[in-house]
Chain A
C-alpha cells in the first residue's frame, strides 16, 4: 500500500501537467468544435454550425488541396533525398565526420532563422539563387513570388532544414545490414540497383516506413515556413490547413471554427499517428 502512495507522489506532477495540458485540452477541443466562444458570455452550443461554416469557406478546400500537394511534394523530394544520401554516405570511407556534421547543421538552426535566410536567397532580384543561375547563364525563377513555384520552394527549404535527421537515422539502419547479404548478392551477379532493391530496401523497410509516417504527420502540420515566407500567398497558393486554422483562431477570434478544423485535421492525421505507434510498439516487443 505504501509503495502505491509513494509511487503516486512521484507521479503527481506529471499527472497534473498531462491532465491540464494534454488530456483535458483533447476533450475541450472536441467540445469547442460544437460551440461559439466569445469570451463575454458563456459559450453557446451551435451544433454542426462551425463545420458548416468551414465547408462553405472556399479557402477550406484550397487549404486541404495545398496541404496534400505540399505533402506529396515533400514525399517525392524530402523523402527520397535523405535515403539516397544515406545510401551514398554509407559507401564512403572518407570525411565521414564532415558529412555528418554538415548534413545535420541546418537541423540545429531555428526554423524562423532558416525561413528568413531562404526568403533572402529566393529574392528574384539580388537573391543568391537567381544570382547563381544568372552567372551560369540559366533562366531565373520567381520562386516564392509565383503561385506555380511557391509551394515547391517551401518544400526545398523544409527538406534542406530537416533532411539531416532522416539521413542519419537511415545511416544507422544501413549499418545494421549484415555484410553477407551483399556478398551473396555479388555471387548472384547482382548490380548496384538490384542490390539496393533486393537487399538495402527490404532490410531497412521498417525504418523507412516509420520515417515516412512521421514525415507525413509533420508535413501536414506545416506552419512556420509558409507563415513567415509567404503568409499564404501568392494568390493563396501556400495557405495550409494550419495557416487557415491560425487565421480562424487569431485573426477572426473564432475559436469554435478553428477547433472544428483541428478536429478534422486530427481525424486525418490520427490514422497515420496510429500506424506509427503500432509500428514502434512492435519494434520494441
Chain B
C-alpha cells in the first residue's frame, strides 16, 4: 500500500539499518545483558569496566535463586492468582454480557451504563475503600481478594457484549426451536462463535493478573501467600545481585512464553480495544 515515502533507495536502506540497530540495542540487548549477568559471580558484576561475556560461568545461580527465594512457592501463588482471576472473571462476565446483549432485560441499558461509568474511575481512586471492603469480608491473604475485584471488569463486559451483538438473532432462534435452553444456547452456540474475542479477553485477563503489583501488595501481607512481583521486591534489597537477576529472568519467562505462543492474538487484541492491557 502507498505510504508516506515510496523509496527503496539508499535512504530507505539507511533508515532500515538504523532502526534495526536502535531496536536491537533498546529492546533486546538489555534483556540479553540480564540473562548474561545472572551467570556472573557478584564480584565480576561489580567490576568496572564490566565483562561482556561471563569470565566465570556460574549457571548454578538460577538454581540458587530458586532455592534462596523459594521461588517455587511464589510461582504457584502467582499461578493460582492469575488462573483464578481469569476463571472467576469469565464465569461472571460472559453470562452478564450475554444477558445484556441477547436477553435484553428491562433496565439492561442502565446496568451497562452503570458498569461503563466505573471506567471513568481511575482504578486507584477506590484503592482505600476496596481494601477496607476486602478487610471487612475477611479476604486478606486470600486469592479471592484478587479474583473478585478483578471480575468487575467493565471494559471486558463491553467488549464481549459488542461481539455478541453481532451474532445474528436467527442463529439463537434456531437453537431455541430445537429446544435448547438459554444456558445451552450460550454454551453450544454463542461461545464457539465467540472464540476470537474470548481468547483476547482471556489472555489480557491472565497477563494483567500476572503483572499486577499494587493489589497483591495490599491483599497479601502474609509473605507465604505473596505473588512473584510482591516477593521479588521484598527480597530485592537483601539478595545477592546475581541471584536477584536470575530470579527476575525466571519470573518473566512465563509471560514471554505466553507472548511468543499467542503473539497474533495479543497484537490483534490491542487494537480490538484492549488498550488498557
Write out, one digit per residue, whether chain B residues 228-269 have a CB within 8 A of any chain A CB (1) or not (0). 111011001000010011001001100110110001001100
How many chain A residues have a CB neighbour from B under 8 Å? 103
Q: Which of B55-63, B65-73, B115-123, B192-200 forms contacts with chain A?
A: B115-123
- The B interface, classified by DSSP as helix, strand, loop or mixed, is helix
Residue A77 CB within 8 A of the other chain: no
Q: A10-B99, A23-B118, A120-B245 are in contact. Are A113 and B263 (CB under 8 A)?
A: no
Interface residues of A (CB under 8 A from B): 3-4, 6-8, 10-11, 13-15, 17-18, 20-26, 28-29, 32, 37, 87-92, 94-95, 98-113, 115-117, 120-121, 125-126, 128, 131, 134-135, 160, 165, 168-169, 172, 174-175, 177, 179-180, 182-183, 186, 192, 195-196, 199-200, 210-211, 214, 217, 220-221, 223-224, 228, 242, 245, 249-250, 255, 258-259, 262-263, 265-266, 269-270, 273-274, 276-277, 284
**Across-interface contacts of A18 in B (CB, < 8 A):** 114-115, 118, 152, 154
Residues of chain B from 28 to 54 with CB closer than 8 A to chain A in the complex: 28, 30-31, 33-34, 37, 45-50
Q: Would you give 29 A-B contacts (Cβ < 8 Å), ordered by A? A: A7-B104, A11-B95, A18-B114, A20-B133, A20-B137, A21-B130, A21-B133, A21-B152, A22-B115, A22-B121, A23-B118, A37-B132, A89-B19, A105-B31, A116-B232, A126-B46, A131-B50, A169-B271, A192-B5, A195-B4, A214-B275, A217-B122, A221-B124, A224-B213, A262-B128, A265-B122, A266-B122, A266-B125, A273-B121
Give A103 to B207 CA distance when docked, in angstroms. 17
Give A150 to B131 CA distance when docked, in angstroms. 30
Residue B210 CB within 8 A of the other chain: yes
Q: Which of B27, B104, B133, B276 has the most CB of A within 10 A?
A: B27
Is B48 a contact of A131 with CB atoms below 8 Å? yes
Give A72 to B231 CA distance when docked, in angstroms. 32
Is A113 a contact of B251 with CB atoms below 8 Å? yes
Is A273 a contact of B120 with CB atoms below 8 Å? yes
How many chain B residues have a CB neighbour from A under 8 Å? 100
Least distance between B176 CB and chain A CB atoms (Å): 11
